Each structure stands twice: as structure tokens, then as C-alpha cells.
Amino acid sequence: MRERKHRFDPYKDKIAEMLDQGMTLGQISDFLSDLDFNTSESELSIYIRSRGLRTKVTRGYHADKVPHCSGCENYIEIGTKYIRDRHTNVRVCKACLEVIPTNAKTSPVFCPKRLEERG
């Protein structure tokens, strides 16, 4: 299936570059507004998703610098639970006494190491 043309297409490479640099949707939207190209963050977000572009920043933290739980001295597994027809490990962070969500690919937002490294 062919992609439909979008008014952001002429700026696709620039948008991808700004995402790689860690710019937020607001900053990209402001940049486009400076070019007399008015848009909203939600319209920009929809375009980015539809073109398979990805931001490198999650909650103000650059994705390639996010610590991972595995290998951390505060990471423990305390058992398993049954979720959607399979057994899943229950993971806990001893430092903050929180259960690590099963869908977390990197350390969760409450991770104390994130705060240390961002500090």
C-alpha cells in the first residue's frame, strides 16, 4: 500500500534529524512555525507515527542513555505471575521498593539511577 502524501513530507528528513538530536515535539513544532508552517504538536505526533519515525527522548531522557535494570545491584526477581496465557517474572527495584512494570524495556521512570545520571 502506498503512503499518501502529507504536507510535512518536504520536511521529513529535517524532522527525523531533529528527533535524533533529542528535540521535543514542541521544539519541532516551533521550528516549523518559524518557517511559516503552522502546525500543532498533535498533528506532528500523528505524522511522526504514520511515517515510522521515532523520538530518542522519553520524559526528557535521551533513550540511548537510559539505564537498564538487568545487571543493576537493586534488581531482583521475586517470583512469577500468570499474565495473558504465560508466566512472567515479577521484578522489583530494592532501592525504591517498587514493582518494575512487565512492559518496561529499560529502567522505569522511578529508577533512582535515572535521577543520578541526569542530576
Encode the chain (119 residues) as per-residue pLDDT tens digits.
Answer: 566 788 889 999 999 888 877 788 888 888 888 888 888 888 998 999 899 887 766 555 555 566 777 778 888 888 777 766 777 778 888 888 888 877 776 777 777 777 666 55
Residue 13: what pLDDT? 92
For residue 63, give the DSSP letter: G
For residue 106, give the DSSP letter: S
Which of 47, 35, 3, 116 has its CA nearest to residue 19? Answer: 47
Residue 81, all three cell numbers: 505471575
Residue ranges per structural domain of the chain:
9-55, 66-118
Residue 54, all three cell numbers: 521515532
Residue 116: what pLDDT? 67
Residue 119, all three cell numbers: 542530576
Partners of 76 in beta bridges: 92
